Structure 1
């Protein structure tokens, strides 16, 4: 494929279920304290038990049943690395389809960590692929309405060096950036140091990392059944098509002017004050 070519799939042609992977939760988590059943005094700290609830919303309305990951209590960091497959297929999606992610803590009842929402198609109506880092809204359940009140993407004016590097890593993993082993090792070491500095700046912010399914080519949104290249019904039923032309038989002004100039040249003189004869006026 040359640089001028753009190959793509149409979303209405993909008869596959929506699939993504919930990878990990980044951020600093205070350990919960549990009261003693006898004297109601706080006991030792325990590790949180977290799980992620995922739901699909189409045009602001829930579509299908929500699904969840397994409980994870080996963190922090909390890593699920769990593949989620929805019953909805890519051909059923609309341009305003969204995924919501809500993180719950079940270590002491049902505690809400936070939620985030992400659109499945970008501004160019292309399906988002690769890793997506979503910032959780602390203490708020993910909102699936459109537009959402819990957007997971960091606003453009708040993005720093780390967000720019993560976008490049996403292209690197999709094969859009050439791999150089020795240079890649140095780059990823520098990125780890940048992540440590950014984590100190973010403080109590939590980020959920999800990995969207990738395809051989980009996927462009198109509604099912839309066909802008409809065949002409006349051309499909007739070999010869008769087209009525209302200009047939009328004088062509340009040809008429050309004939007048040609007659002037045959007379060897061009008279600017020449007037048409009685025959020409007819």
Structure 2
């Protein structure tokens, strides 16, 4: 995806106010077993196709929703999770219009064979870290079962839960994502070896989540050529002669 950062190559970062494209997020998949499919659950014993899930995503700034709510399509769910066929969700808000506390709120919903639908859980994901840098790449988010996303600050439903160490698969995914943006940093033979290793790690990781009584929503945030730092042009109120209001 094009970064939209019109800065000289001598700089190693760009500003959020320069990115004139809509905010978007890709649903990479759901991992883990839904409560309804676990032993004793309402759909226990039915075929996996009897349960479907969908995601509702909102952009939040302060305590208010900004822009329109985004809805995913339905995805059939199994003991190992779900994969969406049309995974991209795009908002009407552009990166340049985001506030420093902007965050994504995700709600996971399920539809069972009877046709009834209910909330599975939710989580939130800040778009900028504490240093004001835009989060990019794959994000593995914990779903808080039985709870909708808490949009207050601090949130009680954080998607990113601190871990003592970063797994090999996460480190390799981050490295390859950066190579994909800057193709000059990679070579064909190294890419082939790295992707083979990544595929093996991902298969092993996915196997661990089959039937697991925990849910993880994997989402992908667009990667830009340079790190993106939050910045917003100051707004000056228009004067009586009509001058001002720039930004």
Contact 2:60–2:102 (Cα < 8 Å) also in 1:
yes
Instruction: Report 1:115-194 matches (<5 A).
Output: 115-157=122-164, 159-175=166-182, 178-194=185-201
- The residue number in structure 1 matching 2:221 is 212
Relative distance call for 1:139 and 1:181 in structure 2 (3 A) is farther
TM-score (norm 1): 0.65
Can you give the 5+ residue segments of structure 1 that lack an aligned partner in the other structure?
35-41, 228-282
Contact 2:76–2:82 (Cα < 8 Å) also in 1:
no
Distance 2:196 2:152 in 1: 40
- 1:77 equivalent to 2:79? Answer no
Relative distance call for 1:135 and 1:185 in structure 2 (3 A) is farther
The alpha carbon displacement at 1:177 in A equals 7.8
- The residue number in structure 2 matching 1:266 is none
Relative distance call for 1:153 and 1:74 in structure 2 (3 A) is closer
The structure whose Rg is larger is 1
The alpha carbon displacement at 1:199 in A equals 4.2
The alpha carbon displacement at 1:5 in A equals 3.8
- The residue number in structure 1 matching 2:52 is 49
The alpha carbon displacement at 1:55 in A equals 0.6
Contact 1:26–1:77 (Cα < 8 Å) also in 2:
yes
Correspondent of 1:92 among 87, 93, 97: 97
The secondary structure found in structure 2 opposite 1:173 is: helix
Output one character per residue of 1:161-213: Cα deviation in whole Å (capped at 9) or x when no partner.
Answer: 33323322332332278333334333333333333444455533322222223
Relative distance call for 1:163 and 1:60 in structure 2 (3 A) is farther
TM-score (norm 2): 0.73
Number of residues of Structure 1 aligned to a counterpart in Structure 2: 217
The alpha carbon displacement at 1:43 in A equals 7.1
Can you give the 5+ residue segments of structure 2 that lack an aligned partner in the other structure?
1-8, 237-247
- 1:61 equivalent to 2:56? Answer no
Output one character per residue of 1:218-247: Cα deviation in whole Å (capped at 9) or x when no partner.
Answer: 3221123269xxxxxxxxxxxxxxxxxxxx
Distance 1:94 1:117 in 2: 16
Contact 1:171–1:177 (Cα < 8 Å) also in 2:
no
Relative distance call for 1:54 and 1:21 in structure 2 (3 A) is same
- The residue number in structure 2 matching 1:106 is 111
Relative distance call for 1:187 and 1:90 in structure 2 (3 A) is closer
Relative distance call for 1:17 and 1:7 in structure 2 (3 A) is same
The secondary structure found in structure 1 opposite 2:197 is: helix
Q: Could you say what the CA RMSD is over the residues aligned between the two structures, in angstroms?
A: 3.0
The secondary structure found in structure 1 opposite 2:56 is: strand
